[in-house]
């Protein structure tokens, strides 16, 4: 498990890259290929940011005090079976 400062630093870097990519899309695109590349990069960065948020939420469900690992995965399995 990562400490909160590391997660904040990584999130800050990703958000900074997202802003730079959005600025590049608005002001620096010359060719259609560059637009497709920038849109893909933006999508990947936003997906990464969401994955970090989801992983952090999943870690909140881990109960290590009783040596039982109760994760969100079990809840997800039950939800998909319905």
Q: Where are the domains of the chain?
A: 4-81
Q: Between these two residues, 23 and 68, which has the higher pLDDT value?
A: 23
Predicted confidence (pLDDT) at residue 47 exceeds the cutoff of 50: yes
Task: Kindly give, in sequence order, each residue whose CB lies less than 8 Å from that of residue 62, ignoring residues fewer than 6 positions away.
Answer: 69, 70, 71
* Length of the chain measured in residues: 82
Structure confidence at residue 79 as a pLDDT band (50, 70, 90): low
What whole-number distance in Å separates Cα of residue 5 and Cα of residue 21? 24
Looking at the whole model, is its pTM more than 0.85? no
């Amino acid at each position: 498990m990562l400490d909160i400062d590391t997660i904040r630093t990584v999130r800050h870097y990703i958000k900074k890259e997202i802003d730079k990519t959005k600025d590049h899309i608005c002001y620096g695109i010359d060719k259609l290929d560059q637009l497709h590349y920038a849109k893909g990069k933006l999508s990947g960065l936003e997906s990464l940011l969401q994955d970090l948020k989801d992983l952090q939420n999943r870690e909140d469900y881990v109960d290590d005090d009783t040596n039982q690992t109760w994760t969100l995965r079990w809840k997800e399995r039950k939800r998909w079976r319905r």
